[in-house]
């Protein structure tokens, strides 16, 4: 059986939780940068691709980027941001949610600081793409 592109969703928000860019990044639980809703077929999966433009505003910060499906964490990764090297960074994250339960799901992208010391902000752009494929064998 062949695999087919089942659904696709994209979010390119100009703000997050009503706050305009730049958005200061807090410690846990962080800030929801973007959300998409997508339908998943039986025996399907979802490819998630996100890009976040980050600005370091003081010292070195370690950021945690997370993907959630319907409020449950499915992935996280860490990125160090140092103003001594660069002020602006583009963080790109790819994750395959496989197997994903069938039905309609909301995927969220969050970012948070690990530690309360130095500062960083979402400077933009923010992009979250989701592609549902299936059925998979």
Find where tokens 């087919």 sit.
4
> Given a cut of 80, is residue 19 above it in pLDDT?
no
For residue range 76-121, list pLDDT tens digits in order. 999 988 877 778 899 999 999 999 999 999 999 999 999 877 888 9
> What count of other Cβ atoms lies within 10 Å of the Cβ of residue 23?
18
What are 46-85's pLDDT values in tens digits?
999 999 999 887 888 899 999 999 999 999 999 988 877 7
Walk me through the domains of the chain, giving residue ranges and CATH numbers: 4-134 (2.60.120.40)
Query: Residues 4-15, buried b or exposed e (16+ Cβ, 10 A)?
Result: eebbebebebee
Could you tell me which of 45, 61, 44 has the C-alpha nearest to residue 112? 61
> Looking at residue 101, what DSSP letter applies?
P
Predicted structure pTM score: 0.89
pLDDT at position 68 is: 98
């Amino acid at each position: 059986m062949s695999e087919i592109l089942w659904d696709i969703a994209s979010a390119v928000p100009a703000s997050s939780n009503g706050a305009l860019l730049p958005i200061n990044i807090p410690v846990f639980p962080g800030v929801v940068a973007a959300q998409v809703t997508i339908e998943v077929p039986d025996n399907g999966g979802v490819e998630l691709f996100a890009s976040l433009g980050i600005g370091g505003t003081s010292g070195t910060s370690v950021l945690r980027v997370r993907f959630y499906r319907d409020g449950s964490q499915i992935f996280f990764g860490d990125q160090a941001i140092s103003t001594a090297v660069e002020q602006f960074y583009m963080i790109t994250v790819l994750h395959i949610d496989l197997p994903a339960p069938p039905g309609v799901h909301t995927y969220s992208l969050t970012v948070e600081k690990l530690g309360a010391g130095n500062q960083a902000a979402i400077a933009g752009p923010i992009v979250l793409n989701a592609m549902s494929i299936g059925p998979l064998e």
